[in-house]
Structure 1
Amino acid sequence: EADREILADTTAGFRVLNLTVSPFNDASTSYFHRSVGGYHGAKLSRYQDLIDRYLSSLDEGVLDMLNTRYLIAAGPDGAPEARRRGTEYGAAWFVDAAVGAATPAEEIDLLGETDLHRVAVVAERDMERLGALAPADSAARRTIRLAEYRPNLLRYEYTADREALALFSEIFYDKGWRAYVDGVEAPYLRADYVLRAMLLPAGSHTVEWCFRAPHWGAAEAITLAASLLVLLSVAAALLLRFRTKKQQS
């Protein structure tokens, strides 16, 4: 019943934390939903840090930045029930400022001391890339939404009246993910210890994240060469058979 209720929500990109199982050692939730937990024998070390430091204690701010829309918990009768949280930040959001961290340890510490809806935590080495962020005022008009979600393609549409820093509730992984603004590749950085961030130009634009595995081009070339070799071998065998039959006749 809880799974059906959550599946009826057509909002794109949200996550679910299932507290009726061992959240970080059970993969069953991932069959139905984008899970905050799950199990993998080779978890990203930073995400494991996040689990150990914040998620195991259900830190609200970290759950919000991970766009945790629902909890699954035991109801009064012991049956699993869906609980809508309502405080999650969404699939992406704009922040007003960024604070630098000198080390990864300071970075993860700052997550518990920062209003992550307004301020991004980034490594100090990336602060220069951001420059001086213009603080938002009450009249600032900035919106961003997830328009399309596929495992290897994320498309966002946004409007901003000035250059602004956007946070994306997706795990930072630069070995294959590329970001584009209106079809032109653009740089991105890690923020909030595990998430992705981009400094976006003013105006109305489209952001796309596309995944292409490293060395994919080489793999395609090898596959194509192997396929051609098989086809040539088949063609040669057929030609030889045809000539043999012709000679026999």
Structure 2
Amino acid sequence: KKFQEIIEFRLSGEKRNLMDPSGTKVMNMLNTQYFYAPDNPQTPQDESQMGANPFAFGNAWLVQDLHKVVNADEEILAINDVDVSTTAIIQEKYLSKVPDFKYDSSGTITQEVLDYKPNHLIYKFSANADQFVVFSEIYYADGWNAYIDDQPAEHVAVNYILRGLHVPAGEHTIEFKFEPNKAATLSAVASIGGWLLILVLVGGAFSLYRDVKNPKQLNDNS
């Protein structure tokens, strides 16, 4: 749903501003490498309508600051005014999951593509201070899990559709793994645990009711 909304709200108009980086923010943050715009008035008829996007942000980038919004409506509107190449737009409900950080201009984040798998993304990170990284990948609440040096890490939604992650100072390996079975298993365990708790409570209530209803039997047994 969110991706469809971003298409209608931003992308449908961005194809008319292909040579303006401020007019192609969503294309750039999605790391769109090439574009094809047969109806683009900026493209002369005698030139190719297929071209490279010189403004793409890359697979991931470090941001200098966070722009806080209250809800999703404010988040998508903020894309118009915020420089998303240097600032991440984030809802207030996620702020507790993002510790303080100080932008390091010498920091780097690169994606490893030794053996590309769409369900397992690997990045190499290096910085002298804690950083906040934005990834040009769609954020999904369930199924995708983040890891820093093989340890689970909590990523958040930013820029309406993307992933963001706080990374501590130093050199680290960051991984995103699509693990829907793990999510389903955790959900099932939580569900089973909930039912077991209900059974325990019901059993305890029944036992109490029985004891109150038969006090004479209790006295006889004692």
TM-score (norm 2): 0.71
Alignment match of 2:63 (pick from 72, 95, 104):
95
Shift of 1:78: 8.6
Structure 1 residue aligned with 2:138: 171
Shift of 1:90: 0.2
Shift of 1:79: 9.8
Residue by residue over 1:71-118, the C-alpha shift from the partner in whole angstroms, topping out at 9 and shown as x without a partner, is 124487799753011111000000011011101110100011100011
Shift of 1:47: 0.6
Residue 109 of structure 2 aligns to a residue whose secondary structure is strand
Structure 2: give runs of 5+ residues left out of the alignment: 15-22, 186-222
Shift of 1:166: 0.2
**Identity fraction in percent:** 30
Distance 1:216 1:103 in 2: 25
Runs of 4+ in 1 over 4 A off after TM superposition: 74-81, 215-218
Structure 2 residue aligned with 1:50: 6
Q: Count how many residue pairs are aligned between Structure 1 and Structure 2.
A: 171
1:32-111 alignment, distance < 5 Å: 45-58=1-14, 59-74=23-38, 81-111=49-79
Bigger-Rg structure (1/2)? 2
Query: What amino acid is the match of 2:57?
Result: Y
Residue 54 of structure 1 aligns to a residue whose secondary structure is helix
Residue 68 of structure 1 aligns to a residue whose secondary structure is coil
Structure 2 residue aligned with 1:247: none
Structure 2 residue aligned with 1:188: 155
Retained in 2: the 8 A contact 1:73–1:80?
no
Structure 1: give runs of 5+ residues left out of the alignment: 1-44, 219-249
Distance change in 2, residues 1:189/1:163 (3 Å): same
Shift of 1:175: 1.4
Shift of 1:61: 1.1
TM-score (norm 1): 0.64
Query: What amino acid is the match of 2:24?
Result: E
